[in-house]
Structure formats: structure tokens, C-alpha cells
Structure 1
Amino acid sequence: GVVKSISAAIPAILILLLIGSLAGTWLLSGIIPSMVYYGLHILNPTIFLVAACVICAIVSIATGTSWGTVATIGVALLGVGRALGLPDGLIGGAIISGAYLGDKFSPMSDTSNLSAGMAGADLFTHIRFMVWTTLPTMVITLILFLLIGLFRETTGEYQDITPFLQAIDGAFNITPWLFLVPALVIFLIVKKAPAAPALFLGTLVGAVFALIFQPQIIKQVSGMEGQFHLASFIAIMKAMYTDISVVTGHDIADNLLQTGGMSGMLKTVWLILCAMIFGGIMEGSGLLQRITESIIRWAHNTGSLVASTVATSIFINLTASDQYLSLVIPGRMYSDTYRKQGLKPEMLSRTLQDSGTVTSALVPWNTCGATQGAVLGISPFSFVPYAFFNILTPIVTVLFAYFNIKIARFKAHEQDAQRHTHEP
């Protein structure tokens, strides 16, 4: 049980390590700073809430972390929103909504990889399948923020963001050419390339672009002035396997411009291993099956099964107060049930993301809700009513299931193959 459980997590662990190295070379090459820089330029006081949500979504997708997005760009946007006379809770709701879109939608997000790994789904297949519930939910969210913005006057300017932009522009060579690298990775995703080779290629091309566009960052990270070839090797290796940071002299920019490389993913790797050991014991002892059977007795169709999964994830967020457990435990509980009902793994992984990931920020005593409130310096109770994306996502995914919209089912021959694969 335990060995089988850990073996199932190895592909997800490999992808997590590759994502750590990719984040390092993308920071080194200026790709992530360029995304942030151009994203902040779409800020407009007349549509501040919409812009704040979109900016946080862009940064979160680029970095793969809602926590990092809220702690950097989110803090900056909160100051801008306050200068415009908007209430903290409303600004916080826009920031949280955008940040958690990236948390569930970015291939660099640990929750995306964890959900796909728990369900046994391919990472990029999982991300593509989430578009169907994520896109309409985000559109509704942006419409709500737009309507609020239209009926609420703002006063003030947004010059507070200028020093932040100047700090990024002064440290990096910001250019649209850098977007060729994420465009390549997106192209591979669309072409259904396996996740590991696509991420590895993105890492290598990012390193090449660092040599071309950011020689000054190479020198700073390596700590060497001369011997550019040796400095390049040291900087790229450091970016891939350990933590690096770029110093600009601006506190918020400095907090954003850092990454942990592969070593930064180790805490998540340990958590996955511990969770898989726990899941293996629960499964091997028969406890998981007993618990699952008692819950799914009334889940006779796709809608009720998805609703059960959503309810379980939310319940764990409320009681265990941990986002990861809200993905791991339901993932282990329901994987066989989804397969027996002819549903593909990405159906389960999408449901986990649409419930466990996003609702964690809505629970003030959950690690996510408490941390986001502390980072922003506002009460979680103030932003929860305005975190429209987080509130609507589980509702949309349940409605899609009940109305049989975009349900991933095995074809007859695929289901037979799955049945033979899982037979003892």
C-alpha cells in the first residue's frame, strides 16, 4: 500500500522539481519580471478592481504561487486601492480572486501538480480541462468587479506603483521578446506534449535567454565580475537548484524577485511523501474504503459524486485547516469511484482544484485564509464576501456536473483498459 502510493506520486514530484528549476531560469532571464512589468501597466483607476484581479492572475500564473503574489503585488495594489478610496475588503477580494486563479491554473503551482498527481491525471491535460470551469467563473467575477467599479467613485492617483516599476525596469532588460519562452511552453501544452519535456525545454530556453538579455543579472547572481562563461554556468545552476534573489533597492520588488529553485520545492515534496504514506496506510488498512463507501452511498450520478467531492474538500478546509489535505484526502478517497463511474482522472483533479484550492482562502482559520489576511494586514472576514472567484468556482463545477457540461468520460475501450489495469 505505502510503496504503491509513493510510486504514484513520483511523476508529480519530478514535475515539481522541474518547475522549481524553470522558475529560477525564468527569473534569471527576466521573463517573470517582464510579465509583472507589463501587467502593471494595464492598471487604470476607472477599472481598478478588474485590473487588480487581472494583474494578480497574471503574476500568479507566471510565478505559480498565490501566497507570493499576495505578499508582493497584492500588498502594492492594496496601497494603490486605498489611495483611490476603496475599502480594504473590496480590494482584498479582487487580489485574492486573481491570485487563486493562478494558484489553480498555473503549471508551476504546487496545488496544480498535487491535484493532478492525486487523481493520476497528466498535468497539462488537467490544466486544459480546467479552462471549462475557470474561464466562465473568471468572466463572471470580472463583470461583478466592473459593476462595482462603475457604481463607486474613486479619488486619487496611482503613482505609488511607479517606483516599483522603475526598480524592475532598472534591474532587468525588459522586452516583449522574452515572452517567446512562455509562448513556446504554451504551444507545447496546446500540442499535448508531456509535461516533463515541455517544462525542461522551457527551463533550458529560459537559461539561454538569460545569457542573451540579462548579463548584468548573471553577474549579480554568480557574484563574479569577469569570466562570463564561468559566471553564466554558476548563475544558471544556482537558479535551477537553489534560492536566488535580485536586489533592486525597492523592498516590494526585492520580495518578488526571488525564487527557491528545486530546493524551494522540497517542503512540498516532503508533504506529498508524508501524505502518500498516510494515504497508503489508510488504503491498505481498508479505512479509506470504509469512509468513502459511507459518503458515496447517495452519489448515484456524476452530479452527486462531484458534489460529494466538493463538500469533502470544503469540510477538510474547515476542520483540518490545510489546503493540501483538502486535495490529498479526497483525491485518495474518490479516485476509484470516479474510475468506476467511467470518469477520467482530469475530472477528479479539476474538482479538487475547483473546491479545495480556492475555498482554503475563504476560511479565516485555515492556513491560507489566515496567512493572506496577515500579509495584507486586513481581516479575512472583510475580503471573504468579495472573493467572488473563490466563492463561485465550486458552485460552477457542481452545476456543470449536474447539467452534464464538459464531463470527461472514458470511451468503452478506454474503460475496459482501465478496468484491466486496476484489477489485482
Structure 2
Amino acid sequence: MENKKTSNGLALLPFLVFVAIYLGSGIILQAKGVEMAFYQLPAPVAIFCGIISAFFILKGTAEEKFDALLEGCGNKDIIIMCTIYLLAGAFAGVSKAIGGVESTVNLGLTYIPAQYIAVGLFLITCFISISTGTSVGSIVAIGPIAVGLAEKSGLSLPFVLAAVMGGAMFGDNLSVISDTTIAATRTQGCEMRDKFRVNIYIAAPAAIITIILLLIFGRPEVIPPMQAYDYNIIKVLPYLLVLILSLIGVNVFVVLTLGIVVSGVIGLAYGNLTVITFSQEIFNGFLGMIEIFLLSMFTGGLAHMITKAGGIQYLLDKIQSMVKGRRSAEIGIGALVAMTDAAVANNTVAIIINGPIAKEMCNKYKVDPRRSAALLDIFSCIMQGVIPYGAQMLILLSFTKGTVTPFQLMPLLWYQWLLGISAIVSMYIPFADGLIKKNPWDWSKKEVNI
């Protein structure tokens, strides 16, 4: 996005209006005992309030402000990001409709030995979330099973649920069709596969240590008998196809469209879908992404208005007093997105808000955009997987009917804490920078192929 060098702290007020309305409504509703309090007010409505306030607060004519809003909403990266959201939603919807999620879950439960329940649930949830791109969807699929297995085996219920939460956030952070990955790569201008290659080297040590800890401490008192669950390996193939093609660098639009078609063909062949229901599931997938679509578009518009008014430059000037170089810039990017996520309880929103700021910091302090994309995704997912009022935590604990509290779970969220440690260590010991050293970023390029 265009950035004028004027610096104006008042230009940030519309953004603060958005955060105040979004966060304030959650706090008020939470105090009244409303379930999922932080998700009752749709985020696009809150950001729209911020846009309205911008027309009153920012200087210039109404036409100039409206032009800036449209320019931001129509930014190429915003449009690409929104289109990918729609395709990802369609793929997820069709694949679920043909029984892909159920088959993937049952496949894991069938072949993982009962004595490895905790680590097995972690690995199954990792695979579900990285395949489907949704931590919430993974928790919905695995959560009830995890509660039942914990009760049968005598394992600590918080311990088992923490393993599920860790696996869900693993995939949310790494999946090539996750909205967080889409937002992180598009705002930073890098390719998904490159972000994955940097990200996986940071996430892998945390995942491996988590697996070891779960093996040591997760042996059940009573080993329930192995069960054979119904699954169809063919229905798992669309997820594998999308994952593999994305990682080898096939255009993301081609990958997702192919995934939708393959899932549809499988559904038609097995009688799960008709041509009409196939088209309906595609459209339902589109509808499921409307909120994040509108939020991204409106946020892009508001961000451009604030940028032209000097708000981003003001924020960068303030950050600059604390940032002395590349390493402290990376710490600043991580801290900013984590704090924003704590405020808005939505990791995608946090990335969209901080993406333009992170990009400016990358340009100024020569932080590789592939690394900044990974850091944005990592620290937002860490915070989202820890906060007691996040959707993931609220949904997961709803399966326990109030017998487990977030504070029982938080010390056991080993993967999230280890991921944070791994990310911070990588800032001082560049063990995850193999791709960056092999192919240094071309700071002269303006666009990137997806």
C-alpha cells in the first residue's frame, strides 16, 4: 500500500474505535454471561464503525476519503486474498460434505495404538488442521472423541484437551489453506510454500518435543480396546493433493480449484453429492467465508485511509525508537501481532491489521518477508491458542460441560509455549533460515507470483 511520509497519531483513532467496539462488546457480553461473548458482534460490523469514524476524524473531503477507502478495498493483494478465501471455503465445504473429515479422523483412530492416546490425538488433530486449514473445525471434529477417550482411559482430561489444542494450532499455523497463512503471505508479498518452508523449521522442534513429552507423561491408566472405525482412504486424497501441490509450488488458484473438482468427483462417484448439491456446497463454502472476506476488504480500505493520513508512519516512528535492527524488528513484529490478537481474539484479524506495519518494518530493517510472514502467523496462533476467551478454547471446553477451566489447560499447552520459545531462539540462532540464505530476498521486486 502507498505510504506518504506524513506522521499523524490522530489518524490511528479509527482503528482504535474498531478495537474498542470489538473488544468492548466482548467484555460487556462476557460480564453478562453470554456464551462465546467475543464472537457475538460480527467483526465486519465493528470495522465498518471504524470506517465511519474515519470519515469524521481524518482530514480531507468526503470524496478524497471515499477514494482512499475504495483504493484500499480494491488493492490487488486484498482482492487476491479474498478470492483465495472463497476457494478455500469451497474446498473445505465440499470435502467435508463427502465425508473427508470423518474419514481422516477415523483413519487415525483406527491405526494409532490405544496406549498412545494423547500423542495420537495430537497427531490426528495436526493432520486434520493442516489438511482443512481450520483449528476450530479440527477441534469440533476431535474434541468429543478426546473427551470420551480420556474418560475411558483414566487420563487427565485437561492433559488430553491440551494435546488437541496444540495439534489444532499446529495446522492453523502451517496449513496452506488456512486464512492466517493466506493473510500472512499476501500482506508480506511472499509465496505460501516459502513461508511454509521457513515456518516448518520453527514449528518442527516444538512439535517433536511435544510428542516426546506426550509419550512420557501420556500413558493411560487403563488402555481401552482398539476399535476399527469406518473410513475411506479415497476421501482423504483431496486433502493430500492440495497439501502436496501447494508445497511443490503449483499456483494456489489451480490447487484449490483442482481440490474442489476432485472432491466433487469423489462425492458424485460415491453418491454423497449430486451435481446440484455439489454446486450448493461450493456456494455454502463461499458463504462461510463472507465474514472474513468482508473483514479483509474493509480492513484493507481502513488501513489505506489511515496510511494516507499518516497513521502508519506515526506508529513506525514510535516503534523505531525501540527497534535498533533486524532482530529487534522481528521481536516487534511478533509482539505487535500477539498483543493485537489478545485484544481482538482473532488471529486472522490480528495479521490483517499488522500486515502493513510488518511490511514497512521489513523494508526498513531488511527482515525477509518470508520470515515476517512466518512470525506473524506463529505469534498470532500462539496467542489465539492460549487466551481463555478465544473461539478455540471456548469450543473445546464446551465439550467438558464446565468440568475443565481454561486455567487448568493453560499450563499444559506445551506446543504453544514451545513454539514461542522456538521462534524467539530462531531470532538469535538462525536455524530456520536455510531457504533465506540459499535464496536471498530480492528487495527490488514489487510483486510476487502466487
Q: Deviations over 1:166-217 (max 9, x none)?
A: xxx3xxxx433444433433332233111111111121122122222x11x2
Corresponding residue for residue 102 of structure 2 = 33
Asked whether 1:119 is paired with 2:161, we answer: no
Task: Give the 3-state SS of the residue equivalent to 2:351 in structure 1.
Answer: helix
305-314 or 93-102, larger mean C-alpha shift: 305-314
Q: Deviations over 1:332-367 (max 9, x none)?
A: 211111133333322111101110122212111345
Mapped to 1, the partners of 2:136 and 2:211 lie a distance apart of 21
Question: Contact 1:292–1:334 at 8 Å: present in 2 too?
Answer: no
For 2:126, which of 44, 48, 57 is the aligned residue? 57
Question: Contact 2:329–2:365 at 8 Å: present in 1 too?
Answer: no
* Alpha carbons of structure 1 residues 373 and 293: separation in structure 2 relative to 1, 3 Å: farther
Question: Contact 2:139–2:392 at 8 Å: present in 1 too?
Answer: no
* Alpha carbons of structure 1 residues 359 and 15: separation in structure 2 relative to 1, 3 Å: same
Q: How does 1:9-408 map to 2 (within 5 A)?
A: 9-150=78-219, 153-155=220-222, 157=224, 165=229, 169=230, 174-212=231-269, 214-215=270-271, 217-218=272-273, 232-242=274-284, 261-377=285-401, 378-407=404-433, 408=436
Mapped to 2, the partners of 1:178 and 1:368 lie a distance apart of 26
Q: Unaligned 5+ residue runs, structure 1?
A: 219-231, 243-260
Offset of residue 4 of structure 1: 4.2
371-380 or 266-275, larger mean C-alpha shift: 371-380
Q: Unaligned 5+ residue runs, structure 2?
A: 1-67
Relative to the length of structure 2, the TM-score reads 0.76
Question: Contact 1:57–1:99 at 8 Å: present in 2 too?
Answer: yes
* Alpha carbons of structure 1 residues 382 and 180: separation in structure 2 relative to 1, 3 Å: same
* Alpha carbons of structure 1 residues 57 and 334: separation in structure 2 relative to 1, 3 Å: same
Corresponding residue for residue 56 of structure 2 = none
* Alpha carbons of structure 1 residues 124 and 16: separation in structure 2 relative to 1, 3 Å: farther
Mapped to 2, the partners of 1:97 and 1:42 lie a distance apart of 21
**Letter of the 1:278 counterpart:** L
**Letter of the 2:279 counterpart:** M
Offset of residue 53 of structure 1: 0.6
Mapped to 2, the partners of 1:30 and 1:318 lie a distance apart of 34
Mapped to 2, the partners of 1:325 and 1:409 lie a distance apart of 31
Task: Give the 3-state SS of the residue equivalent to 2:443 in structure 1.
Answer: helix
Offset of residue 70 of structure 1: 1.5
400-409 or 263-272, larger mean C-alpha shift: 400-409
* Alpha carbons of structure 1 residues 262 and 124: separation in structure 2 relative to 1, 3 Å: farther
Question: Contact 1:338–1:344 at 8 Å: present in 2 too?
Answer: yes
* Alpha carbons of structure 1 residues 138 and 239: separation in structure 2 relative to 1, 3 Å: same
Corresponding residue for residue 69 of structure 2 = 2
Give the total of aligned pairs. Answer: 375
Relative to the length of structure 1, the TM-score reads 0.81
* Alpha carbons of structure 1 residues 190 and 110: separation in structure 2 relative to 1, 3 Å: closer
Offset of residue 368 of structure 1: 4.2
89-98 or 398-407, larger mean C-alpha shift: 398-407
Offset of residue 409 of structure 1: 6.7
* Alpha carbons of structure 1 residues 308 and 237: separation in structure 2 relative to 1, 3 Å: same
Mapped to 1, the partners of 2:305 and 2:393 lie a distance apart of 30
Question: Contact 1:113–1:123 at 8 Å: present in 2 too?
Answer: yes
Question: Contact 1:343–1:409 at 8 Å: present in 2 too?
Answer: no
The alignment yields a C-alpha RMSD, in angstroms, of 2.6
